[in-house]
Structure 1
Amino acid sequence: MKGKVFQAMLLSLVFIIIGFMISVQFKTIQGQNKFAASTNDSRVEELTQQLKNATDEKKTLEQQIEELNKKINALDNTSSKTDAAIDTITQDLNKYKAIAGFTKMTGPGVIVTVNDSDIQPKNGEDPNMFLVHDEDLVNIVNTLKVGGAEAISINGQRLIATSEIRCVGPTININSTTYAPPYIIKAIGNPDTLVASLNIKGGIIETLKYYGIKVDIQKSDNLEIPAFINPINFKYAKIANK
């Protein structure tokens, strides 16, 4: 773009110089014509020839100006096409950034809050069954995806294809950040469809509630889910050659 602007400025400068040259030359010849009135016929003939030469040169310069105008118009057309191509690429880039999770998103959806159970395990019962585990969050996230969720976060961490959800003792590591309960899951999508997916009979929510795990589901008309901001490094995967 900068190169094209420079070319247009250069062509404009050429026009100014050409116009100045034509103006000076005609003024010079006009002055010579006035002087010719007091000179002999040979001098008049010489000045007449100079005027003819100047007229021919003027025609040549006008043709050059016309050619330069054509080049400027061609540059303008090329610039417009380039701008349109850049706009299309920018739109595609923003779309794929949103799909990949690198853009903050807003929209309707649901908020699912999950917390450990307050029930004390009876003799012989596994106390881990009454705590929220990584697999529980994974199952909730997968259920939301099946329900059409378009963007999901847990405790403010945007989930993308490479996000990890794994237990670290009594806490859960999400995107390399450790969190303790409660876990707040936000999902953008059709609220009714998402709630129906979560509450399906025999699904993850019903299973969690069986063990006293506290689950609260709220619909929202306007959720905000942040962009994924952590660096991504591929150790083994490489872009395949065409």
Structure 2
Amino acid sequence: MSRNKYMKAPSRKSMIILIVCIITGFIIGFSYNLTKDNKKITSPSVSQEETYREDLIRQQERNKELSEELNELQQTIRDFEKTFASNKDEFEILQQEAEKLRLMLGEIPAVGQGIRITLNDAEYNPNNSNPNDYIVHDSHIFKVVNELKISGAEAISINGHRLKSNSYINCTGPVITIDGSQYPAPFVVEAVGNPEVLISSLQIVGGVFDQLINDQIVVTIEKKGQITMPSVNETQS
């Protein structure tokens, strides 16, 4: 007898289970392949979108940083402009002050409107035995020069001799010695500056002009449209 005769045919229940397993395996396999294919299709697109989004965020952050840097630079420029404007004003003021100092020291020539004051001895009075009572002294010249300086005179000269900050004036009899040089009367004092201010300061009641008149000094004051004074070096050469 053949061995196959003794083998039992699979039961109906077993066949159903087998078929179900085969179908389930097929469905699982198909679903896995489908999911894998979908990942291959959609994954690059999603990844690229995320990359774009990250790049956009980074770019926005960089733009914000650049905007802040630009604002800082603009503020720095404004600060420089303010500082430059302030320094420019200060420089101009300092330059003007330096110019005034050079004029006072006599280092540069002086040109401008001003006044001329002439001091002369009084006429001889035989009834007065003291000649010092009617001649011009260094004290008279000092009064005039000091008042002119106080009133803002830019430059002063006596008989063409340009005065400097440390000039000295001495009276030696009928002559005046200025920085070692002697000058006789009349003494012509010229000053560069505002004529109205200079004259009003000299002619104030009880001021220098009145004092000179009381001392018998002959005084004349003139406005000058332009006065030219050489520098100290030119005067001494």
Q: Place the TM-score, normalised by the shorter chain, in its bin.
A: 0.5 to 0.7
Partner of 1:72: none
Please tell me the residue identity of whatever aligns with 1:108: Q
Q: Distance in 2 between matches of 1:146 and 1:169?
A: 28
Deviations 1:99-137 (A, max 9, x none): 4211111001100011100141535x6431211001110
Deviations 1:40-82 (A, max 9, x none): xxxxxxxxxxxxxxxxxxxxxxxxxxxxxxxxxxxxxxxxxxx
Written as runs of structure 1 = structure 2, the 5 A alignment for 1:20-39 is none
Equivalent residues of 2:104, 2:165 under 8 A apart: no
Partner of 1:208: 212
Partner of 2:150: 146
Partner of 1:198: 202
Please tell me the residue identity of whatever aligns with 1:155: N
Q: 1:119 to 1:202 in 2, by over 3 A?
A: farther
Q: Distance in 2 between matches of 1:215 and 1:223?
A: 19
Equivalent residues of 1:155, 1:183 under 8 A apart: yes
Q: Which has the larger radius of gyration?
A: 2
Deviations 1:135-156 (A, max 9, x none): 1101100011111111100011
1:158 aligns with 2:162: yes
Partner of 2:84: none
Q: 1:210 to 1:135 in 2, by over 3 A?
A: same
Q: Distance in 1 between matches of 2:104 and 2:168?
A: 18
Equivalent residues of 1:152, 1:186 under 8 A apart: yes
Secondary structure, aligned partner of 2:190 = strand
TM-score (norm 2): 0.54
Q: Distance in 2 between matches of 1:161 and 1:101?
A: 8
Q: Distance in 2 between matches of 1:187 and 1:219?
A: 10
1:112 aligns with 2:120: no
Secondary structure, aligned partner of 1:207 = helix
TM-score (norm 1): 0.53
1:168 aligns with 2:172: yes
Q: Distance in 1 between matches of 2:137 and 2:195?
A: 25
Partner of 2:188: 184
- Alignment size in residue pairs: 141
The CA deviation at 1:160 is: 1.0
Q: Distance in 1 between matches of 2:178 and 2:222?
A: 22
Q: Distance in 2 between matches of 1:180 and 1:168?
A: 10
The CA deviation at 1:97 is: 3.2
Structure with greater proportional helix content:
2
The CA deviation at 1:187 is: 0.3
Q: 1:130 to 1:224 in 2, by over 3 A?
A: same
Secondary structure, aligned partner of 1:167 = strand
Output the aligned Cα RMSD: 2.3
